[in-house]
Amino acid sequence: MSYLSIVLTSVFSANALLVYGLGACPAFRREGRKPFVSIVSLVVVNLFASGVFWAFRVLALAPLHLEALEAIVYAVVVAPLIKYLARALVASESPFLSRVGTSVDESALSCLVFGLALLIARRGYSLPEALLASLASAIGYWAAIVLLDAIRERLELSALPESFKGKPALLLSAGLMAMAFMGMDTVFVKTIAG
């Protein structure tokens, strides 16, 4: 699989939020997000978690045929390492890295991070491909959240029936977005990436 097709697949047809439903709770909450800090922390956590999890899966679990222990390895090895990374970032002198570290610490035990690490490790990618897929998945998740926030703002200004306002309209919009993103199926991605 080419690098372009990995990126397109991870962003569109295998979008973490819209296709797999990973990280749905923060996506549908209205909160004062700092978009740049949140995307940087998500990229850092995903790259770190996917790289470490890939190494454990390929170098330890797969040769011993212990793939059933993936969740335990993630909880016992990868999640504490992410916590240590967050503490190191918070202790840094830079205020930006300290904010990123706080955000990394909040997302360390997220279903989004674990789900992406597990999905990427199971696709059989090499380490560079796994890291690229992790980066693209984080960007795809962030793009889906930005689009949902824009749709939420438009829906708040629209004249909708009272029973349709709020979450029902947003969930319907998310479902339509998911269908559009899944429309970029593997065949279409392979055609584009050639």
Would you state the structure tokens that stand for residue 51, as one six-digit string? Answer: 């790289």
With 0.85 as the threshold, say if the pTM is over it. Answer: no
- Min mean pLDDT across 16-20, 99-103, 146-150, 154-158 is at 99-103
- Taking the CA atoms of residue 115, residue 117, residue 29 and residue 39 in that order, the dihedral angle to the nearest 10 degrees is -170
The per-residue DSSP string of 113-128 comes to HHHHHHHHHHTT--HH
Burial class (CB in 10 A: 0-12, 13-18, 19+), 63: exposed
Of 122, 109, 162, 138, which is closest to residue 44 (Cα–Cα)? Answer: 138
pLDDT, one tens digit per residue, over 168-188 is: 888 898 888 888 887 776 566
Could you tell me if 46 and 134 are in contact, meaning their C-beta atoms sit under 8 angstroms apart?
yes
With tokens 């995307």, the residue in question is 39
Per-residue pLDDT reduced to its tens digit, 87-130 = 888 888 888 888 787 777 776 667 788 888 888 888 889 999 99
